Structure 1
Amino acid sequence: MASSGILVSRISQGNNHQSRARHGARGQVGLDPKRKKQRVYNMTRPAHLVLARKYRPLKFSEVVEQATAVRALQNAALEDRIGSAYLFFGPRGVGKTTIARILARRINCTNPQKGEPCNECESCKSIIDGRSLDVIEIDAASNRRIEDVRELRENVKFQPMNSKRKVYIIDEVHMLTTESFNALLKTLEEPPEHAAFVLATTELNKVPETILSRCQVFTFRKVPLHRVQEYMAHICKTEKIEAENDALFWIARKGDGSVRDSLSFLEQAISFCGNNVTAEKVRELAGVYPLELFLKLTELLMDPQTPSQELASPVMEIFDQGGDLNRFIWDYLDHLRILRYIRSGVEDSDFLGIPGSQIQNIKSRALNFDPARISLIFDEIHGLLTTAFFLKLRNSYESRILIEMELLKIHDRLKKPSVSALLSKIQKLSVSLAGQDSRRSEDLMADLTEDASQSATQQPGAGAGPAASNFRSPTAPGTRPGGSQGPSSAHSTDPNANQRNSGPAGAQNSGNDSQKSGQSDSIPIEDELQKQFLGTMVDPDSVPHEPDE
């Protein structure tokens, strides 16, 4: 009994303390009218509305892109041919739920303006405010059980309260269970005349075919990058915010074709940059690696004189700053793709995914980059990702070791002469031998001999001796198999050679010899390429002639 008395006493003391606190607080508010006014002001102050909700389209004409779905739904509304079930499929943030709400307002609008809702009647205002009892939005991810679908089937039988038709908007419909889909089949096939269904999903493959066959399916596509950029520029102008074009480009690229995601990131950029949104700050906020880093790394890989420590410096810099090395590799692959296209003459900003200013910068820096070597670096870096996936690296230090060793291997491989470089030098040498560029013949011959000697030392099975010792002079190519005489026969030491060739037959033979000589100018070069670069040491002159039949 004593303990219960103590308990009652403590409860009474607590209640008295709470009562004094409440009365004291009220007394303070009553004695201080300024604080009371301030508190009332804070309660009635409207909350900030994010850009994605503030600029959500209220009419079909305000929707960004998606012209196919908009035109079909407008025509159906004009001709009073609204279907009983629609299914909108597409990526996130492209307008599926927005168009579903506009369609619901157009169906129930009392004063429609052709294919658009008026947004002024009581029905439109109630739907916009979210207080309409006849437009029901259901999140299928949270209401996916068969009990929820059964409840929907029971409620759909009732007539609308204040509107012409009931509209059910089921978002993320692919999250429903198989039993829920089966329970919904009959309702979708034969719904009441006063009901309409709009289903939205991002994964069409998870929706059963039986559901798809009962709906009109519209495919929503990603919004082009330049269109998102123009839309955000219009919003920034309305909000009186200064934003650079390159900054809006990076924001639109971050959104990846989603208008909602782009506007959300624009809101974040405004909070970070203030009323002056710059490209540099947006790249910092988005974590985009600078272009100079990738160009420097590519130049280091292309330069055979680059020290090993300097080659690993970009990776070490990212590692020390705590950057994501896996994302760095993917961004570098994208940079190599852009390099390859720019070297091929492509300069479309939307296609390449970078601003126009960076395209010109890359174009001026990448003039000496061999496209074949760019493709080789891309293949090796892509193979690095495959290796990292199978190794299941646990931390960034392991990734750093793998990346540095791969860069060293690529650098060693690029030191070897490429086939395209050898063929280019051979073509230039052939031109010089033909007399069109005789001043550079000796330099080109020296370069070709040096490359051939490097290839001979690097290829297994090549000759042990130096390449220059097996290289015949282009002015004395010799003869080909089959008995055709080369140009060296024209420089015979026989003093009677000129007399024998002075007659008509000799002149004809001389003409034939000169024609054969012109046809076989490049043959010795091809022989040396085959012997030195491919490692085949068989001399065509040593092959015995086949006897004539």
Structure 2
Amino acid sequence: MECHTIMAYTALYRVYRPQTFQDVVGQEHVTTTLRNALREGRLSHAYLFNGPRGTGKTSAAKIMAKAVNCEQPQDGEPCNQCPTCRAITDGSVTDVLEIDAASNRGVEEIRDIRDKVRFAPSDVRYKVYIIDEVHMLTTEAFNALLKTLEEPPSHVIFILATTEPHKLPATIISRCQRFDFHRIPLKEMVKRLTYICEAQGVRVEPQALHLVAKMAEGGMRDALSLLDQAISYSKDEVRAADIMQITGTVSQGHFSVLAKYVAERDVSRVMEHFDRVMVQGKDPEQFLQDLLYYYRDMLLFKTAPQLEEIVERTMLDDQFAQVAGMYALPDVYAAIEICNQALAQLKWSTYARVLVELTLVKLCQPVKEAAAAPEAAAAGGAELAALANRVRTLEERLAQLMQGQAHVSAQPRTEEPRRAETRRPAAAARSSRTPMNKVREVAKAVDEALTRQVRGQWSQILADVKKIKIQYQAWLVNGQPAAAGRDAVVVTFTSPIHCEKTMEPELKGVVERVMLGVLGRPLQLLSVMEEEWQSVSQQAGQEEQPAQEEQDPFVAEAIRLVGEGLIEVKE
């Protein structure tokens, strides 16, 4: 009976994890400083390593732990040969502890560390605590860690690692030496990937390595994971097509052909080409994102062709240069803007492919700004001419007044009713969303006790609205509850914009739900301008007094025809 043994495979990013500072790629500004400090014995009690994922923060922390405890250090580097270095590499030294703050974020875990740091190390010279993703700690845990960082024992070194340093309290950061890890440059990453492929005996296309490095976006761990997957997928040689296949991206050749058809405004060929890409099983959102990067790289190529390093995902070959020559800069700007808007809409769309097809059709349409410019200029010229005429007329009238030639007649007296007449409809138009008959009902039957309750709890209502959406509270905060009736609350405003906005159905519904929760009874929100409410409340007060004039049929008919606000009855 044969027994087949399957050897355990170790991922590339674990096999080629840096063991010395010299192996850390693209972080010379960090490794040089640390090596100099180790060589001169200028060690700090706490370090903060921050930067993007996969750039060597945790690896540098482990190298640091070996270097401070190495029995035979060599120019600030661990020897990796002594028993201490080997034990730390194997993870068998209990005095070098790596903690994941994402899963050990509570105050109890940090208190346990605080209690144990007082004891001297048993196997090595320094106790080293590496706290990864330290920004995940709770506020209480940070407070417990703070005292230990402020006055640590001489035999303890803390190394904090995080991808989001802005989430750390300033009191923690100020007690650490901070080192910023950068994204690994493209050339450095390709050089490292080439070395690993040669060490593994893997044949790989140079273009494939460039594509892996660009898709990793500065993270060596991501690049090694993608390369590991590509090696497993390919047979004899890793090709760029293999990378595109396993990541679901579209080749640059497809985008160059598509961009050529877009520049020619050939919608039918654009849609045919897009359909061929979709038949291959590509994701529409990934396709649109890659198309956005293609146009972004085209913009950089046209404006700064010498900066090849900042090109994200495009190879600057002859085909790309030829297609870029078919585009003017306004066309590239418009294409980037259209793709960006479509990506934002794609998050809320159920039909991703339809939205991408709509975007491609938009790209084929000519830029309309140039055509719309003459019309806009003509409209702007007409408005300027009208304004100039009005200014000229006002200047002439002002000159006549200054010279005493203007004759002031009794016209203002006759115009005053007209002004009063126009003022009220304008106010009414501004609050057209509010049913004024409902406002009059509240004015006639004000519930004083409920009004006092609303005013007393208005701040609580505003606070609850702010919890739902701060913009709603900003629109409502300028209002003042004037009166409450049986089933409605009148809120007055001095700004017509705020008055109008608070009566929009969505915002009004939120406020009414909050009032129901705070006051315990359903009330309708009625937003009106302050002068409107004063007029309505005065009329309600007059109607409560017995008035024989209202019994006059002529007055009643006049009110029916033109409304109460425009009728004034004199003795």
- TM tier, smaller: 0.5 to 0.7
1:393 aligned partner: 349
Alignment pair present for 1:405 and 2:358: yes
Q: Alpha-carbon deviations, 1:183-209, whole Å to 9, x = none? A: 111111111111111111111011111
Q: 403-412 or 163-172, which moves further after superposition? A: 403-412
Q: How many percent of aligned residue pairs carry the same amino acid?
A: 37
1:324 aligned partner: 283
SS in 2 for 1:266: helix
Map 1:507-526 onto structure 2 (within 5 A).
none
Q: CA deviation at 1:94?
A: 0.8
Specify the code of the residue in structure 1 equivalent to 2:312.
Answer: G
Alignment pair present for 1:383 and 2:341: yes
Q: Residue 345 and residue 206 in structure 1: after superposition, are their counterparts in 2 closer, same or farther (change >3 A)?
A: closer
Map 1:13-52 onto structure 2 (within 5 A).
38=3, 42=5, 47-52=8-13
Alignment pair present for 1:233 and 2:233: no
2:310 aligned partner: 351
Q: Which runs of 5+ in 2 are unaligned?
A: 383-571
CA distance in 2, matches of 1:107, 1:213: 23
Q: 112-121 or 308-317, which moves further after superposition? A: 308-317
1:541 aligned partner: none
Map 1:144-543 onto structure 2 (within 5 A).
144-304=105-265, 306=266, 308-344=267-303, 346-354=305-313, 356=315, 358-389=316-347, 392-394=348-350, 398-414=351-367
TM-score by structure 2 length? Answer: 0.62
Q: Alpha-carbon deviations, 1:16-55, whole Å to 9, x = none? A: xxxxxxxxxxxxxxxxxx65xx47xx4xx76222211111
Contact kept in structure 1, 2:297 and 2:314, CA below 8 Å: no
Q: CA deviation at 1:247?
A: 0.5
Q: CA deviation at 1:130?
A: 0.8
Specify the code of the residue in structure 2 equivalent to 1:315.
Answer: F
Specify the code of the residue in structure 1 equivalent to 2:366.
Answer: R
TM-score by structure 1 length? Answer: 0.65
Q: Alpha-carbon deviations, 1:61-98, whole Å to 9, x = none? A: 11112112211111111111111111100111111111
Q: CA deviation at 1:328?
A: 1.5
Q: Which runs of 5+ in 1 are unaligned?
A: 1-33, 420-454, 462-529, 536-549
Contact kept in structure 2, 1:138 and 1:171, CA below 8 Å: yes
Contact kept in structure 2, 1:349 and 1:355, CA below 8 Å: no
Q: Name which one, 1 or 2, has greater alpha-carbon Rg.
A: 1
Specify the code of the residue in structure 2 equivalent to 1:178.
Answer: T
SS in 2 for 1:374: helix
Q: Residue 137 and residue 410 in structure 1: after superposition, are their counterparts in 2 closer, same or farther (change >3 A)?
A: closer
Q: Alpha-carbon deviations, 1:98-150, whole Å to 9, x = none? A: 11111111111111112111111111111011101211111111111111111
Specify the code of the residue in structure 2 equivalent to 1:287.
Answer: G
SS in 1 for 2:49: strand
Q: Alpha-carbon deviations, 1:266-292, whole Å to 9, x = none? A: 111110113411122222222221223
CA distance in 2, matches of 1:195, 1:460: 73
1:140 aligned partner: 101
Q: Segments of 4+ in structure 1 off by > 6 A? A: 458-461
1:441 aligned partner: none
Q: Residue 177 and residue 373 in structure 1: after superposition, are their counterparts in 2 closer, same or farther (change >3 A)?
A: same
CA distance in 2, matches of 1:412, 1:159: 73
CA distance in 1, matches of 2:297, 2:197: 30
2:434 aligned partner: none
Contact kept in structure 2, 1:254 and 1:286, CA below 8 Å: no
Q: CA deviation at 1:310?
A: 3.0
Contact kept in structure 1, 2:252 and 2:314, CA below 8 Å: no
1:96 aligned partner: 57
Give the root-mean-square deviation of aligned CA atoms: 2.7
SS in 2 for 1:57: coil
CA distance in 2, matches of 1:338, 1:63: 29
CA distance in 2, matches of 1:359, 1:342: 11
CA distance in 1, matches of 2:359, 2:281: 20
CA distance in 2, matches of 1:119, 1:240: 25
Q: CA deviation at 1:374?
A: 2.3
CA distance in 1, matches of 2:363, 2:238: 39
CA distance in 2, matches of 1:112, 1:82: 15
